[in-house]
Chains A and B, each alone.
Chain A
Amino acid sequence: MSEIKHVKPSIQEVLESGKFLVTGEIGPPKGPDIAEMTEHIELLKDKVHAMNITDNQSSVMRYPSIGTALLIKEMGGEPILQVTCRDRNRMAIEADLLFAYTRGVRSVLCLTGDSIPVGDHKDAKSVFDLESAQLLNLIRTMEDGKDTGGNEMNGSVSFFKGAIVTPEADPLEPQLMKFKKKVDAGAQWFQTQAIYDMDHFAKFMKVAREYDIKLQAGLVLLVSAGMAKYMNANVPGVMVPQDLIDEMASAEKGKALDTGIKIMARQIRQIREEGLADGVHIMAIGKEGVVPRILEEAELDISAL
């Protein structure tokens, strides 16, 4: 295998050096015009340690996560490849992972994936040959030089393996069982579903800290009070406390985004100061451009860590 040049440290190296891991997210576009996405990558690549690339997010067909991961690599950034089980069976996933590995992708976030009917290809056959815990285990198998058919490969891969956990899931107990299964299946680090209530999060972290894993708090930028209410009503496992909704609602006209940025910056500072998590994962859905501002307000400069 030709040597891959890594411009940035891997997120595993960042976490193991004890630094606060800051990641952002790139949502690939619907169609071949990648100009705007390329701008976002350019904007983020030196401000965050790495960027998640969503995989046909919300079951909406888009530019591929693996292609975007390579693009980020080419541009001198560090990608986190998201892999879902919704539209690829174990064979296809294994082949994709071989490709990703040989092109220098080092971190993979394993998800089950949204269901087909919530997306924009409602008649498509859904796959779900595997789910997230089995996907983690599949990678482990490939790290032992085998595929899940039990066949020897001509070498092995190695990835830093991640998964998602939902601290506000209702009911919580089955979610915690699955969390443990993911740890046992090889997850080394976690990103959470969006969290807003820091007290709840701190309680959850007491449980999470029992495992030998790293964990990033997932933060989604609020852009309006309406969005906060919508998330409460419609996004499973997300709970925006009333005081934050009020804070968003009290923003002056045209200033809701500023308030959202202020809230997130405050949360980042709190997580860092109180050592609540090993890092943050910032999701500024559709507003990637403001991420540098959030980090500035949070006084978080990764080059100074």
Chain B
Amino acid sequence: MIITNQKPFETILKELEDAKSVFLVGCGDCATLCETGGTDQVAEMAEKLKAEGKLITGMIVPDVGCHELDVKKEFRVHKDELEKADALLVMSCGAGCQAARSATDKPIMPSNDTLFLGNIMRYGQFEEKCRLCGDCLLDVTGAICPVARCHKGILNGPCGGTNEGKCEVDPEKDCAWTLIYQQLEKEGKLDKMREYRPPKNWNAVLKPGRHAIERKKGGEANE
């Protein structure tokens, strides 16, 4: 899921300095789990902004903040509250903000910084394990991703900075290539690590990404 972190409240206030009235938009999915855009955080933000003299015209928490059609639908339902607002504060990820963007021409301000695609390690703790490179090579790395988990994203084994299994940029972080080595050793597949990996195609997905499920003739995909 997409990991977000709330910006300092002063920053949010600065973003909203021209807005006397604000409409709040959360997200029932990732931002709820990150406690940055769930029902509780949206209500709390409303109180804090009121205390700063802002008028809160309304608030919604769409099930999935980045589902553009659903967000548009929700916005239509709350048309009047939206109309009264000088700006929207969107409390989800960057994608959620831009789903809102497609649904209104009002100024939109983000309350969060969007950090990474993360795994939930335990409640409230997240780690990045995939960088969405578009050309997955986990088959040859023991299902441990060097693109995401090695700081340099290098493909042919550890750099000279690896130290006792930790990474040169942060002694708290494991060196991905040590993990890959240990995993492939367990599998008896170290030959995969011995094999030279050519330079990666970093444009496997041309930015900005775009994808449509191919529909088979006479039926829906995956149905």
| Chain A contacts to B: CB under 8 angstroms | 90, 111-112, 114-115, 117-118, 126, 128-134, 137-138, 148, 164, 166, 169-171, 173-175, 177-178, 180-181, 184-185, 193, 236-237
Q: Which of A112, A130, A133, A173 contacts B181, CB < 8 Å?
A: A173
- Given contacts A114-B168, A137-B198, A177-B194, are A128 and B154 in contact (CB under 8 A)? yes
CB B157 to nearest CB in A, in angstroms, measures: 4
Cβ of A115 and Cβ of B161 under 8 Å apart? yes
Cβ of A134 and Cβ of B152 under 8 Å apart? no
CB A12 to nearest CB in B, in angstroms, measures: 24
CB B63 to nearest CB in A, in angstroms, measures: 35
- Given contacts A174-B193, A237-B163, are A134 and B156 in contact (CB under 8 A)? yes
Q: Can you sample 29 A-B contacts with CB below 8 Å?
A: A90-B199, A112-B160, A115-B151, A115-B161, A115-B169, A126-B152, A128-B153, A128-B154, A129-B199, A131-B154, A133-B156, A137-B196, A137-B198, A148-B199, A164-B160, A169-B162, A171-B181, A173-B181, A174-B157, A177-B181, A178-B158, A180-B194, A181-B156, A181-B196, A185-B196, A236-B161, A236-B162, A237-B160, A237-B163
Write out, one digit per residue, whether chain B residues 94-130 have a CB within 8 A of any chain A CB (1) or not (0).
0000000000000000000000000000000000000
Distance A181 CA – B177 CA, assembled complex (angstroms): 15
Cβ of A170 and Cβ of B163 under 8 Å apart? yes
CB A179 to nearest CB in B, in angstroms, measures: 9
Q: What are the residues of chain A within 8 A of B190 when measuring CB–CB?
A: 177
Is residue B5 within 8 Å, beta carbon to beta carbon, of the partner chain?
no
Q: Which of B168, B198, B202 contacts A115, CB < 8 Å?
A: B168
Q: What are the residues of chain A within 8 A of B154 when measuring CB–CB?
A: 112, 128, 131
Is residue B41 within 8 Å, beta carbon to beta carbon, of the partner chain?
no
Q: Which of A118, A133, A193, A237 contacts B196, CB < 8 Å?
A: A133
Distance A126 CA – B177 CA, assembled complex (angstroms): 19
- Given contacts A115-B169, A117-B169, A118-B169, are A131 and B155 in contact (CB under 8 A)? yes
Is residue B159 within 8 Å, beta carbon to beta carbon, of the partner chain?
yes
- Given contacts A112-B152, A115-B152, are A177 and B193 in contact (CB under 8 A)? yes
Is residue B165 within 8 Å, beta carbon to beta carbon, of the partner chain?
yes
Known: A169-B160, A174-B158. 16 other contacts (CB 8 A): A114-B161, A115-B152, A117-B169, A131-B154, A133-B156, A134-B156, A134-B197, A134-B199, A137-B198, A138-B199, A166-B160, A170-B165, A174-B157, A174-B178, A185-B196, A236-B161
- Given contacts A129-B199, A137-B198, are A193 and B155 in contact (CB under 8 A)? no
Cβ of A130 and Cβ of B158 under 8 Å apart? no
Is residue B164 within 8 Å, beta carbon to beta carbon, of the partner chain?
yes
Residue of A whose beta carbon sits closest to that of B170: A117
Distance A171 CA – B179 CA, assembled complex (angstroms): 11
Distance A133 CA – B165 CA, assembled complex (angstroms): 21
Residue of A whose beta carbon sits closest to that of B146: A131
Distance A166 CA – B162 CA, assembled complex (angstroms): 10
Q: Which of A129, A132, A170, A175 contacts B202, CB < 8 Å?
A: A129
Cβ of A181 and Cβ of B157 under 8 Å apart? yes
- Interface positions of B from 141 to 194, Cβ below 8 Å from A: 151-165, 168-169, 177-178, 181, 190, 193-194
CB A24 to nearest CB in B, in angstroms, measures: 20
Residue of A whose beta carbon sits closest to that of B200: A129
CB B102 to nearest CB in A, in angstroms, measures: 29
CB A116 to nearest CB in B, in angstroms, measures: 9
Distance A193 CA – B159 CA, assembled complex (angstroms): 12
CB A168 to nearest CB in B, in angstroms, measures: 11
